């Protein structure tokens, strides 16, 4: 199933549907690292999708940037707007019970940064017993040898059965950059910034009989064996540095080395998370924009890089303004290729060498993807009374696609007109379309049509069906903002080591593809209808509203079971940098979790 997902992989060339989870967030502040230039604080936008290793959406995952947190919707999608990150560093973390913690580190662009992550199920590989030497193996030759000594999270000796989850990630895996944590950004033993080329990664998770996290006991080690890809046999060095991933900083740290024995690297480690066998290089930053011959920027275009001696390509995808940006090896010539939507190479060139520690912007790359795969869809959205929809949006995706990144949406103009441009690698493709009238709370429902030409007009489409979920809010005397369609409504437990994190929170989040957004979280929910004047947080177009700057009454009039509805109203005032404001909101949202 994984082969049918065209996922946008990320390299140390790090880059950067329907969006329903949304939050403006606090600043990401990585732990200081020697000689890194993360740049100044800046605000960037992010959207992403979280899938499992079978390519299925992971819903209800907690996604964090800095102090901000959202959850993925039922399509695995999340969105952050105006996230305060560093110019050259953004760290996205994803957690969900039953999965290995995931993350992505990237150099954000000025456009909408796409973040694509695969989560690995925490499925036990084998069980071992304390007090005895044991080896856990995978069929490809991966091995972990324990001496039998373990400790719990408090450092106390642990005795009993240990569940061991082992996952090997090969450099040739087509989803390497979705599955691996962070990026290839690293700090070596001398404290110098490095970018790496991997020769194999290993994740090990240890769990006690009561579900508690375990580690190797103090003063003890484990031996790991990581097989080398056949394509890298001739280029793999006899000794290679070992690197462990720091989940807090998002950066790999050099810790020891491994020796090549046969066709595998063998080394000893004193703790477990992710381990990586990597060659290291000085790092540089590269940026480039991809356009066509008319000067139009090209989003969602795959750009690959590889070292001359590297046996595989790693790559990223241009953002909505056609730009790709990231950390790359310094001091050597790299091979750059550009692919179209049908995986055909449309540009290739040698680039570099790039000076260490310097940001280099390449001249724009000019390509002309085949026009036969580009489809422009036009039409007009009408109300149930056959008038122009003046406030609404439309969504489009190819029939049968399992690529969530082909899911597109745009707002209609003041006359209800819309234009979308998408791609298909087959002639006369079928598309699924849905339009929303946000004034009258009506939709077209999903409809299917066939594009018989590259410029196809579907004519007038009537939005005449009641929407099952909605959120409407108003700030001062501004027009009412309405969000229609599927919206996340969750009453969820949180896994956290912080004593200030409540066991349960109500989260209601939505961001329509056309832009309106609403995110509400209520701490210390008991799972019943109630009124609140504290422990809340809103993010809307007027900014963040919390008890410290708001005087709001939130009335949850009904709180249904999963599949039923949550109804709420909000009334009151808040203060921000522009002064005092009134705020009202009404929501009718289906509970998903």
Q: Give the other-Cβ count within 10 Å of 132's Cβ.
A: 9
On whether both 277 and 130 belong to a single domain, the answer is: yes
CA distances from 79 to 25, 46, 72, 107 (A): 11, 6, 8, 17
Residues 100 and 137 in one domain: no
Residues 267 and 287 in one domain: no
Q: Is 4 helix (H, G, I), strand (E, B) or coil?
A: helix
Same-domain check for residues 403 and 331: no
d(CA 139, CA 591): 42
* Domain's final residue, options 396, 431, 466: 466
Q: Are residues 387 and 362 in the same domain?
A: no
Q: For residue 34, what are the CA distances in angstroms to 108, 194, 279?
A: 21, 11, 19
Are 86 and 223 in a shared domain?
Answer: no
Does residue 167 share a domain with residue 133?
A: yes
Q: Is 406 helix (H, G, I), strand (E, B) or coil?
A: helix
**What b/e string do you get for 107-125 counting C-beta neighbours within 10 Å, with b at 16 or more?**
bbbebbbbbbbbbbebeeb
Domain final position from 323, 340, 366: 366
Q: State how far the Cα of 558 lies from the Cα of 470, in Å rounded to an integer.
A: 15
* pLDDT at residue 75, as a whole number: 67
Given this model, what pLDDT does residue 244 score? Answer: 96
CA-CA distance, 124 to 146, in Å (whole number)?
16
The DSSP result for 274-301, as a single string, is EEEEEEEE-EEEEEEEEE-TTS-B-SS-
Structural contact between residues 84 and 66, judged by C-beta atoms closer than 8 angstroms: yes
User: How high is the pLDDT of residue 503?
Assistant: 54
What pLDDT does 8 receive?
30
Residue 523 to residue 466: CA distance in whole angstroms:
32
* 206 in the same domain as 275: yes
**What is the pLDDT, as a whole number, of residue 278?**
93
pLDDT attached to residue 18: 31
**CATH code, domain carrying 329:** 2.60.40.10
Q: Where is the domain boundary, 348, 366, 384? A: 366
**Integer Cα distance of 14 and 508 in angstroms:** 31
Whether residue 383 is found in the same domain as residue 529: no
Contact 516, 542 (CB under 8 A): no
Task: Collapse the DSSP code of 554 into the 3-class scheme (helix H, G, I; strand E, B; otherwise coil) and give the result.
Answer: strand
CA–CA separation, 380 and 305 (whole Å) = 42
Q: How many other CB atoms are there within 10 angstroms of residue 541's CB atom?
A: 14
- Under DSSP, the state recorded for 248 is T
Number of domain units in the chain: 4
CATH number for the domain that contains residue 408: 2.60.130.10
Tokens matching residue 32: 């200081």
Q: What is the pLDDT of residue 213?
A: 92
Quote the pLDDT of residue 512: 47
Per-residue pLDDT of the chain (593 residues; tens, 9 = 90+): 333 232 333 333 333 333 333 333 334 444 434 456 788 888 888 878 888 888 878 888 888 888 777 878 766 778 787 888 898 899 999 998 889 999 999 888 888 788 889 999 999 999 999 999 999 999 999 999 999 999 999 999 999 999 999 999 999 988 888 899 999 999 999 999 998 899 999 999 999 999 899 999 999 999 999 999 998 998 999 999 999 999 999 999 999 999 999 999 999 999 998 999 999 999 888 999 999 999 988 887 889 888 888 878 877 778 878 898 888 899 999 999 998 877 789 999 999 999 988 889 999 999 988 766 778 889 999 999 999 998 887 878 777 655 444 556 677 888 999 988 777 778 888 888 888 887 788 888 888 999 999 889 999 999 998 777 888 888 998 877 777 766 778 887 644 333 444 457 888 876 544 456 788 888 888 778 889 998 888 877 656 788 888 899 999 988 988 888 899 999 999 988 778 999 999 888 888 87
User: What per-residue confidence (pLDDT) applies to 70?
Assistant: 80
Q: Which domain holds residue 271?
A: 126-281
B/e letters for 266-287, b = 16+ CB within 10 Å, e = fewer, are: ebebeebbbbbbbbbbbbbbbb
Q: What angle do CA 420, 422, 426 make, to 5 degrees?
A: 140
**Residue 210: exposure state from Cβ atoms within 10 A (0-12, 13-18, ≥19):** exposed
CB atoms within 10 A of CB 325: 27
Structure token digits, residue 285: 């930053």
Predicted local confidence at residue 55, as pLDDT = 80
- Whether 484 and 536 map to the same domain: the answer is yes
Residues 266 and 200 in one domain: yes
Token readout for 91 is 């760290």
Return phi, psi of residue 273, to 5°: -160, -110
- Residues across the chain: 593
188 vs 3: CA distance, rounded Å: 35
b/e for 425-454, b at 16 or more Cβ within 10 A? Answer: eeeebebbbbbbbbebbbbbeeeebebeee
Instruction: Say whether both 459 and 324 belong to one domain.
Output: no
């Amino acid at each position: 199933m994984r082969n049918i997902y065209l996922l946008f992989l990320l390299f140390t060339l790090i880059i950067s549907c329907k969006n329903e989870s949304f939050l403006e967030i606090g600043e990401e502040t990585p732990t200081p690292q020697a000689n890194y230039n993360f740049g100044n604080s800046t605000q960037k936008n992010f959207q992403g999708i979280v899938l499992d290793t079978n390519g299925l959406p992971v819903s209800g995952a907690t996604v964090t940037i800095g102090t901000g947190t959202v959850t993925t919707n039922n399509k695995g999608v999340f969105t952050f707007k105006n996230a305060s990150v560093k110019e050259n560093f953004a760290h996205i973390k994803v957690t969900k019970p039953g999965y290995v913690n995931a993350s992505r580190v990237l150099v954000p662009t000025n456009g909408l940064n796409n973040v694509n992550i695969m989560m690995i199920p925490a499925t036990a590989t084998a069980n071992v017993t304390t007090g005895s030497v044991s080896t856990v193996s995978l069929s490809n030759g991966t091995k972990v040898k324990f001496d039998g000594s373990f400790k719990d999270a408090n450092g106390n000796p642990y005795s009993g059965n240990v569940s061991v989850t082992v996952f090997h990630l090969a450099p040739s895996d087509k989803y390497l950059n979705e599955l691996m944590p962070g990026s290839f950004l690293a700090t070596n033993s001398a404290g110098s910034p490095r970018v790496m080329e991997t020769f194999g990664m290993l994740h090990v998770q240890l769990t006690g009989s009561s579900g508690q996290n375990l580690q190797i006991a103090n003063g003890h080690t484990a031996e790991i064996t990581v097989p080398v890809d056949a394509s890298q046999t001739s280029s793999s060095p006899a000794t290679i540095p070992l690197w462990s991933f720091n989940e807090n900083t998002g950066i790999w740290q050099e810790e020891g080395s491994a020796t090549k024995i046969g066709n595998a690297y063998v080394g000893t480690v004193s703790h477990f998370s992710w381990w990586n066998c990597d060659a290291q290089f000085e790092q540089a930053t590269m940026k480039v924009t991809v356009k066509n011959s008319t000067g139009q920027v090209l989003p969602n275009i795959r750009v690959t890089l590889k070292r001359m001696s590297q046996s595989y390509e790693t790559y990223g995808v241009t953002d909505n303004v056609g730009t790709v940006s990231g950390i790359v090896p310094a001091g050597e010539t790299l091979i750059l290729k550009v692919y179209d939507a049908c995986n055909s190479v449309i540009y290739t060139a040698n680039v570099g060498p790039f000076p260490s520690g310097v940001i280099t912007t390449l001249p724009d790359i000019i390509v002309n993807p085949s026009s036969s795969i580009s489809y422009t869809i036009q039409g007009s959205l009408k109300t149930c009374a056959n008038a122009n929809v003046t406030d609404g949006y439309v969504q489009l995706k190819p029939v049968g696609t399992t690529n969530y990144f082909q899911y597109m949406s745009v707002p209609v103009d003041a006359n209800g007109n819309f234009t979308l441009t998408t791609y298909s690698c087959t002639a006369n493709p079928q598309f699924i379309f849905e339009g929303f009238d946000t004034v009258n709370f009506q939709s077209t429902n999903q409809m299917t049509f066939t594009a018989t030409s590259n410029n196809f007009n579907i004519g007038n489409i009537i939005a005449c069906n009641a929407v099952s979920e909605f959120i409407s809010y108003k700030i001062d005397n501004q027009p009412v903002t309405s969000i229609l369609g599927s919206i996340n409504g969750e009453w969820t437990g949180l896994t956290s080591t912080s004593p200030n994190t409540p066991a349960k929170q109500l989260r209601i989040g939505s961001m329509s593809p056309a832009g309106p957004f609403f995110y509400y979280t209520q701490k210390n929910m008991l799972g019943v209808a109630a009124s609140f004047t504290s422990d809340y947080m809103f993010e809307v177009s007027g900014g963040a509203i919390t008890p410290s700057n708001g005087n709001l009454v939130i009335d949850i009039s009904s709180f249904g079971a999963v599949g039923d509805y949550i109804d709420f109203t909000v009334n009151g005032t808040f203060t921000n940098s522009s002064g005092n404001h009134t705020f009202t909101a009404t929501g009718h949202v289906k509970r998903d979790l």
